[in-house]
Amino acid sequence: MLDVSLNLNKAQTRIQGIMKLSGFFRGESAILRGNFLLITISWIIMFSAQPISATFASLFYLHLGANDFLLSIMGFAGSIAFALVQFPGGYLADKHGRRWLVTTMTFGLAAGTLFFIFAPSWQFIMIGLVVQNLCAIYGPALMAMVFDSLSPESRGGSYSLQSVITTLVLLPGPLIAQYLIFVFHFDLGMRVAYTIMLIGYFAAATLRLKLKETLPSNDTVTRPSSWGLLRTYPRSVKESVYVWQKVPKSAFNLFLATIIINGLVVSCQTYFVVYATSILSITTSQWAIVVTFEYLTIAIPAVIAGLSMDTFGRKRFLILGYVLYVPGMILFINASFNMLVLAFFFFGLGNLLQLNGYQVLIGDLIPRGLRGTVTGCIQFFMYIVQAIFQVSIGFLYAFVSPQLPFLILAAAAIPLSIFVFLKVYEPSIKEA
């Protein structure tokens, strides 16, 4: 009788899981509809095109005359540009609405790709990075719109579902990149890759014209002029700094941990393909396979974690994400091709859990009317710290030891996970 009871319980659990998953797609509680559906489709389009150029982007910059250290300087310039527009981006999202900022600046992001397509040298690439990151002023508005479109009870599963869908569409990117540089040779193949990205970004921008405003109080507010945008900067900075007095302390502690781990991860990512091809002697075709396998293998665990996140809490999966960076980086520094695949499974899954856990938890902690401002503040300091780390990591990679940046990421992940465990608490009542 006990076995029968256990089997019935397992069957009921499986049925509940299937019903929960199907609820994402149909019924009154469907998640993939309205703004969230449009944003997810736009991400699918953008993420289908973006990895084609990103797979060998650092090698392309080196090809155009940059060196190992200059890669970090280029990243520094892009990060500073991104940071400078986050305060006004968050302020405008909460005062003047989300939609107009998202739609207008997505077109600007697409236009910035032209610098990459026609770049005669690495300096033009850096200009393109700056232009695109200035257009990322829409980032706080987009994230606020996503938060606004999801109910607290389904944020974890929704974010993970969206992440898995967009991760799966990344799969062909590295293989297409390898095909392009094989057929057209490296220089022309990369320019074709950026042309594909230009088309994808313009298509996503056009789709986002169908988005609906999610800030009701914005109906009667006029869009600010260019001069008005400049005049709002001091006020937006002040409101963004003081906003932490209006939110739980856990949100601020989560912010501190996130800007550090994100800065280290992004700085190391710049050198992954460079280290793999120059130090580990991995070929470009092998690298394309590694990146593709990374996207493929993390999909199912991410879905399971996302569905569990809404039931068992966000924090434990966030901490697991931090911890998985450790084996990923330790295996990477001396990896063979087969070991490289395992290393990037750990790194990719850890990165997905860390990002999803942070985004869902910050949505739970921040009230709707402050989300744009808080997101802008987080993004500002995140990219300032990222810029500092990029130069520091670039210096260490180029002039001290190429293995050291990856070991620093592994070493930092443990104390940061402990900090999150001790200082970040999930709210008893999640913000709508």
CA dist list (Å): 180 to 56, 188, 422:
11, 8, 48
Other residues' Cβ atoms within 10 Å of the Cβ of residue 2:
6
Picking from 410, 250, 389, 424, the residue whose alpha carbon sits closest to that of residue 330 is 410
| Structural domains in the chain plus CATH codes | 30-213+235-423 (1.20.1250.20)
- Tokens encoding 172: 């062909």
Which has the closest alpha carbon to 203: 109, 89, 93, 101?
109
Q: Which residues contact 212 (CB under 8 A, 6 or more apart)?
A: 34, 35, 99
The DSSP-derived string for 344-375 is: HHHHHHHHHHHHHHHHHHHHHHS-GGGHHHHH
Half-sphere exposure of 158 (CA within 13 A, CB side): 27
Q: How far is CA 390 from CA 22, 35, 383, 414, in A?
A: 42, 34, 10, 21
> Using an 8 Å Cβ cutoff, are 307 and 395 in contact?
no
C-alpha torsion angle, residues 238, 242, 246, 250 (rounded to 10): 130
Cβ pair 378, 83 in contact under 8 A: no
Diameter of the chain measured on Cα atoms = 76
What residue type is 334 in one-letter code?
N
CB 146, CB 138: distance < 8 Å: no
Q: What does each of the 432 residues of the chain score in pLDDT, given as a tens digit?
A: 434 343 434 334 333 444 444 555 555 555 666 788 898 899 999 999 999 999 999 999 999 999 999 999 999 999 999 988 887 877 777 777 788 889 999 999 999 999 999 999 999 999 999 999 999 888 888 887 887 777 766 666 666 677 777 778 888 999 999 999 999 999 999 999 999 999 999 999 999 999 888 776 544 455 655 566 666 667 767 776 777 878 888 888 999 999 999 999 999 999 999 999 999 999 999 999 999 988 887 777 766 776 677 677 788 889 999 999 999 999 999 999 999 999 999 999 999 889 888 888 887 888 877 877 787 788 888 899 999 999 999 999 999 999 999 999 999 999 999 999 999 888 776 665
